Amino acid sequence: MFSIRMRAEKNEKHISGAETLVEKNMISATIMELAQRALSHEKGEPDFINISVESLKIPVKKLTSLPLILTHVENETEGKTLARKLLLELGIPKLCIAKSISLLEKGPANGENMRGAIIMDLNGNRLEPDVVRGIRASHIGITEEASKELQTAISDMRLSTFYTYISDALVLATKVASVKGTLGELCWSDDPSYTAGYVASGKMGYIRIPHLKKKGDPCGGRVFFVENIDPGNYINEMESAPVLVNRFGGIRSFNE
């Protein structure tokens, strides 16, 4: 298998990124698809696009995706209240919840968005070595079969327009939750027009929250909450160990 990864920048600022794992016969088509994605992002036309193709040297871990759990909130205030409650239920201290939300609201890389994620321990310390780059959960993909199952499920819920966002985020969150030491993840999009995000964990699944910020707000990102990790090993696994989602873990509505 091959890992194909794309990242696009404008004036040295991150615009978009995407990746997948494919067999050799899909390399050309995937490169074209990722180039198209880079060129049609709402944040503008990039002046730098990097697409890398890498043959995988280590075995690919196959996982069923986290279950996709849909919530209904009216606005970002309700959304954040729900996210706080879910994170508390995961055992994340109030201080860390408040700090992570405030970082994502302000732009965690000194007022700008990060390319990757924050790693936060339960004392609220940030463990990622580079606060601008952050940590990328990388070398991830989804099989055609799992992708079709997901597509059917979200089409039944009238969410097909958001397929790419949901699929990319669900695959990423599935890997993050699978890495030992992850207690949970908080994310909302940094695309100005996209207000959705999620709280994800192995314990509760991928809980999708349609409003975690106001439309037009360009700030967002990801926080991985961790306990008892060796940062070097954790980061290495997160960035390099290949994970392929080969089954969709199902969809349901959230019941409080």
Residues binding ligand PML (CB under 6 A) = 162, 165-166, 168-169, 187, 189, 191, 194, 196-198, 208
In the complex, least distance from residue 202 CB atom to ligand PML, rounded to whole angstroms: 17
Backbone angles phi, psi at 168, to 5 degrees: -60, -45
Q: Side-chain half-sphere of 191: how many Cα atoms within 13 Å?
A: 15
Nearer to ligand PML, 66 or 96 (CB): 66
Q: Provide CB contacts within 8 A for 96, sequence distance 6+.
A: 87, 120, 122, 123, 124, 225
In the complex, least distance from residue 59 CB atom to ligand PML, rounded to whole angstroms: 27
In the complex, least distance from residue 67 CB atom to ligand PML, rounded to whole angstroms: 13
In the complex, least distance from residue 123 CB atom to ligand PML, rounded to whole angstroms: 26
In the complex, least distance from residue 232 CB atom to ligand PML, rounded to whole angstroms: 26
For the chain, the distance separating the N- and C-terminal CA atoms, rounded to the nearest angstrom, is 41
Q: Side-chain half-sphere of 118: how many Cα atoms within 13 Å?
A: 29
Q: Which residue is nearest to ligand PML (CB)?
A: 189
Nearer to ligand PML, 170 or 229 (CB): 170
**CB distance 119 to 239 below 8 Å:** no
Matching residue, tokens 């290495």: 236
Burial group, residue 93, by CB count within 10 angstroms (0-12, 13-18, 19+): middle
Nearer to ligand PML, 17 or 229 (CB): 17
CA pair distance 39, 177, nearest whole angstrom = 31
Q: Provide CB contacts within 8 A for 153, sequence distance 6+.
A: 68, 248, 250, 251
Nearer to ligand PML, 84 or 211 (CB): 211
Count other Cβ atoms within 10 Å, centred on residue 223.
25
Nearer to ligand PML, 165 or 254 (CB): 165
Nearer to ligand PML, 116 or 229 (CB): 116
